[in-house]
Structure 1
């Protein structure tokens, strides 16, 4: 091994710049790939790691009864913890709070149920009224953390009786409708648990991902009248932890119905929400992993070609020593030592970069569930990547060198049918030369990586088109709530817990709204919870006022009689999984309300309004007569307002607020923008990854094209020199290289665009079905318009340097060297 070591010393001195470039390429590529893989693993496991040790709730009981005794629930066998919270407005000066910032009423929260991890500070003292716990996004949004103060504004008992918890429209307002006590509270902790986690994107209540602030239970205990109202009109809901978890939920529902005599009490399975979140983080993890694997492919191509050139350069000199006694094995080892030696510092730097990058992972929704943010060293990935790179570079360089030493001269390759046909049609010589450079492999020392260049160009363009097609679908869903069945844009709160204004007052409000020139339709809807078997879900009715807002369905039609209902998509799936539905439309299902139970026929499957306690894919839509046959009251009564296309929603909302406020009792009518589906933010959260994936595939195509252009000019320099000697001008030589680049681009466009368009639509359709939302085939108009010119321009820019080298070729030197 003395000779290989001596040769390595020579290589390091002579080719130190090339070896340094190789090391940098390895470091950058390895850092990117390992950061993506480790980030994917960390993101996918975030929710499971957060659940471990935080005593997550298994159910949420929504009872809407101001006088309900929660001790009945605590006494049910198998219940390990009950943590009620009051559904009343709480305001913080200068802060927008959503419906998830509700005061707990019992010290059981954070003790028996949802014991959070502390990202900073400590938990609030349950005996104090002036301490707050906040989320990480709250700290980021408002710059207030542990030790900072916030002023809590409470309603008077009289205001609490009429206030429906609506403080601001979705316009950035921080209007406060509270004239009760002012409490200066101190933030003592930043918390996170499966329930107390920042929501993905826009939260309910109009607060666009602003985070939450939860006071100590002591605040409610000191100011109960300010939360419950003088008439005790407000109610509490509760998180419940069960001994047997989700498996004990059916038994808990039956025992709750027996203990209360109310089988219609809504009990939400919180595991469903966790599964939705897990599907989201898994999807993001898969997308990130796909990004890392694509980066790996691109890096393998670029680094492999670069290392192969270094090996080939060494072998060209080592072959001279073989007749003098150098064995082929020694030549192979000596040629491979340079790239192998460069791989070591590159791999170490790459692992270090990936480790530092973990400070910014996990990405997307998973960041909201990460229990230990910050530096995270995934040693199996980091050490595995380090060893894999060293082995891969050494094996690749050695294998290439061995094949090069053992290779026999290849026979002549076949002619390109395209170039032959172009010659018969009399096309210019520069065009023919460019076609042969792009399409004919050649043999021996003039062989070119034609096939890999064509495949790389096609795959790169297909990846870009697929990513931008997917992005077009996301953009359409992000700007069109109707894709989620949400055709309304404004909510008008008319009542809660069975209490609303007089019928004539409500009628005037809805009529005034319907007469506005920017309003396309208004509906009066009531909401209550029904039971079917072991499942509970919200039931909406709909009473149009004038022209009704359009309602889109996935299948079937709207109910028209008191014996028909429409099911939301996820509810239909749960009923089907429980064996209560078969085909869906046309099936019969038994529902139970506070007036008893009856059978209904499923007329359609679609979406319901996104509400404060339900998603748009959970629930039932019934006619007013069908609703009245089940329920004697309502939990919430709302008006749904849809605007005409092109209307200025903010301006129209302000005008309607002023108009309604001028009516008798209108100042007590709350208005806010519609609840935005959280799935919308979830889809937006993964938008960047497909685009990044397309960018790496584009780099793959460009790297392959650039390498082909440089290699073609170098390996075919003798042919170019002969043509130049026969009269081809420098300008024609540049034209030949440009033709080669244009041919690669054209082949990639012809095959890559339709493949990418189809692939992007298939991927988006899968997301649409799993979200769920209405699928509309995305059309990336500007991508289809610009992909051709941009690709041709990029290819020719990459070939410009090679074209210049070919045009300035020293003919005498090239011909003499041959």
Structure 2
């Protein structure tokens, strides 16, 4: 008793080991069994002298492993939501029509298609657009120009807004970085006119656009968009307003007849209308397709592979701590068996030690992982060029928690058996 009092007064490791953790004190006051108290204490308390074990390292490894896996769950769920939600990667329209043939035939077919679609009760939004190359600050960029005939123009900006005037442009995230521009800055745009010559003007960047793969600008994050009037020559103004003037406007911008983008009413009725239009215009009808780069990224699942790598590190740290604990606390285990501990209680103590390490990792790691996953998804979306909508799936985190505890106890099986087989006489004689 005198030795214990002197140790407490003197402080140091001995004093800390004689002062149990608050968690163990609370469990003792709640009437927890001895195996629980000893297992929780071994997980949270380092010990001193020859009985010291890397408890903090095991707890840190558990937190890091759960954080990485939770972040991977959030990132993977967000990626799955993105690939199943076309509007997030810029696919706001349901189909587009590309008239073919010679210039005159294409213009006539364009006019006829616009008239047909405008009288279709199942078509909610109609826009016209065209694409081609322009020079922006000395760099060739695939550009779009368009105008809405009914409803809003079917493209979205992740930052800022679409261009509204003839002196405005919106750029993809990748193009914005390549040009060294930002929302609000000015860029020089040179357009080759189909009639010959070129025209250079200053445009103000109004936003960061989300370009779908089917837009033909080179993929997510790449491209530029203007208002249709922003790239026009005045030659079409002499034509009467209507579909013929629209076809002319597109030809004067990019030398092509352009395309018609449509959105249908939702549900089976809209799908049936698209099927009917595809049968009526098989060569002109085009349907959207998902971004191959994102699908390939999801199939490889880099975030999950990274999370598993960190989880293996955490598992190795836990196993190391358990093995060291069995070896360095042989004397304590021997004393417990002399006091009446049976093999089952010794194994349960080891199980409680492992479960405690896992629970600490879950309590701290899951919130950190959710925050890290959301932040990583926002950064990834801003870099690639799509609308960031992080998704947290409760069942995935619940499965992660259950799996973490189960795997931790499975890893503890070997050390638990070794601790249960310790003979008191041999352990105490060795000390």
Same fold, TM-score > 0.5, yes or no: yes
What TM-score bracket applies, with the shorter chain setting the length?
0.7 to 0.9
Q: 2:328 aligns with which of 708, 715, 720?
A: 715
Change in Cα spacing, 1:816 to 1:807, as seen in structure 2 (3 Å) is same
Between the aligned partners of 2:399 and 2:388, the Cα distance in structure 1 is: 25
1:541 matched to 2:145: yes
**Secondary structure of the structure 1 residue equivalent to 2:183:** coil
Between the aligned partners of 1:643 and 1:721, the Cα distance in structure 2 is: 77
1:623 matched to 2:227: yes
1:750-789 aligned at under 5 Å gives the runs 750-789=363-402
Q: 2:288 aligns with which of 664, 674, 683?
A: 674
Deviation sequence 1:745-767 (CA, Å, 0-9, x none): 12211222233333333333333
What TM-score do you get using the length of structure 1 for normalisation?
A: 0.43
Between the aligned partners of 2:151 and 2:307, the Cα distance in structure 1 is: 45
Deviation sequence 1:145-194 (CA, Å, 0-9, x none): xxxxxxxxxxxxxxxxxxxxxxxxxxxxxxxxxxxxxxxxxxxxxxxxxx
Change in Cα spacing, 1:785 to 1:651, as seen in structure 2 (3 Å) is farther
Cα contact 1:457–1:701 (8 A) shared by 2: yes
Between the aligned partners of 1:780 and 1:648, the Cα distance in structure 2 is: 32
Query: How far is the alpha carbon of 1:495 from its aligned partner?
Result: 4.0
1:507 matched to 2:114: yes
Between the aligned partners of 1:443 and 1:800, the Cα distance in structure 2 is: 25
1:184-333 aligned at under 5 Å gives the runs none
Between the aligned partners of 1:699 and 1:532, the Cα distance in structure 2 is: 48
Between the aligned partners of 2:13 and 2:171, the Cα distance in structure 1 is: 69
Query: How far is the alpha carbon of 1:444 from its aligned partner?
Result: 4.1
**Secondary structure of the structure 2 residue equivalent to 1:750:** helix
Structure 1 spans left out of the alignment, 5+ residues: 1-409
Between the aligned partners of 2:220 and 2:74, the Cα distance in structure 1 is: 26
1:656 matched to 2:271: no
Between the aligned partners of 1:556 and 1:411, the Cα distance in structure 2 is: 59
Change in Cα spacing, 1:656 to 1:730, as seen in structure 2 (3 Å) is farther
Between the aligned partners of 1:734 and 1:477, the Cα distance in structure 2 is: 46
1:411-450 aligned at under 5 Å gives the runs 412=14, 414-415=16-17, 416-419=20-23, 421-422=25-26, 425-428=29-32, 429-450=34-55
Cα contact 1:591–1:600 (8 A) shared by 2: no
Query: How far is the alpha carbon of 1:599 from its aligned partner?
Result: 5.0
Query: How far is the alpha carbon of 1:637 from its aligned partner?
Result: 1.6
1:587-736 aligned at under 5 Å gives the runs 587=186, 589-594=188-193, 597=199, 599-608=202-211, 610=213, 611-612=215-216, 614-629=218-233, 632=252, 634-635=255-256, 637-642=258-263, 653-658=274-279, 661=280, 666=281, 669-674=283-288, 676-677=290-291, 679-681=293-295, 683-684=297-298, 687-736=300-349
Deviation sequence 1:2-56 (CA, Å, 0-9, x none): xxxxxxxxxxxxxxxxxxxxxxxxxxxxxxxxxxxxxxxxxxxxxxxxxxxxxxx
1:51-62 aligned at under 5 Å gives the runs none
Cα contact 1:567–1:605 (8 A) shared by 2: yes
Between the aligned partners of 2:306 and 2:178, the Cα distance in structure 1 is: 35
In the alignment, what sits opposite 1:585?
A: 184
* Higher RCO (Cα < 8 Å, 6 or more apart): 2
Change in Cα spacing, 1:556 to 1:443, as seen in structure 2 (3 Å) is closer
Between the aligned partners of 1:683 and 1:584, the Cα distance in structure 2 is: 29
Change in Cα spacing, 1:534 to 1:715, as seen in structure 2 (3 Å) is closer
Change in Cα spacing, 1:614 to 1:480, as seen in structure 2 (3 Å) is same
Change in Cα spacing, 1:456 to 1:498, as seen in structure 2 (3 Å) is same
Deviation sequence 1:105-154 (CA, Å, 0-9, x none): xxxxxxxxxxxxxxxxxxxxxxxxxxxxxxxxxxxxxxxxxxxxxxxxxx
**Secondary structure of the structure 1 residue equivalent to 2:74:** helix
Q: Paired residues, what number?
A: 393
Deviation sequence 1:529-578 (CA, Å, 0-9, x none): 44455344344333435444643213332333444443334444444x4x
In the alignment, what sits opposite 1:525?
A: 129
Of Structure 1 and Structure 2, the greater helix share is in 2
Query: How far is the alpha carbon of 1:795 from its aligned partner?
Result: 1.4
Cα contact 1:520–1:642 (8 A) shared by 2: yes
Cα contact 1:422–1:432 (8 A) shared by 2: no
Change in Cα spacing, 1:445 to 1:498, as seen in structure 2 (3 Å) is same
**Secondary structure of the structure 2 residue equivalent to 1:622:** strand
Between the aligned partners of 1:602 and 1:444, the Cα distance in structure 2 is: 66
**Secondary structure of the structure 1 residue equivalent to 2:382:** helix
Query: How far is the alpha carbon of 1:731 from its aligned partner?
Result: 4.1
Cα contact 1:608–1:617 (8 A) shared by 2: yes
Between the aligned partners of 2:16 and 2:269, the Cα distance in structure 1 is: 65
Change in Cα spacing, 1:810 to 1:616, as seen in structure 2 (3 Å) is closer
Structure 2 spans left out of the alignment, 5+ residues: 1-11, 235-248
In the alignment, what sits opposite 2:56?
A: 451
Change in Cα spacing, 1:609 to 1:768, as seen in structure 2 (3 Å) is closer
When the two chains are superposed, the root-mean-square deviation of aligned CA atoms in Å is: 3.6
Between the aligned partners of 2:303 and 2:293, the Cα distance in structure 1 is: 18
Which runs of at least 4 in structure 1 moved beyond 6 Å after TM superposition? Answer: 648-652
Between the aligned partners of 1:723 and 1:655, the Cα distance in structure 2 is: 81
Change in Cα spacing, 1:814 to 1:592, as seen in structure 2 (3 Å) is closer
1:461 matched to 2:66: yes
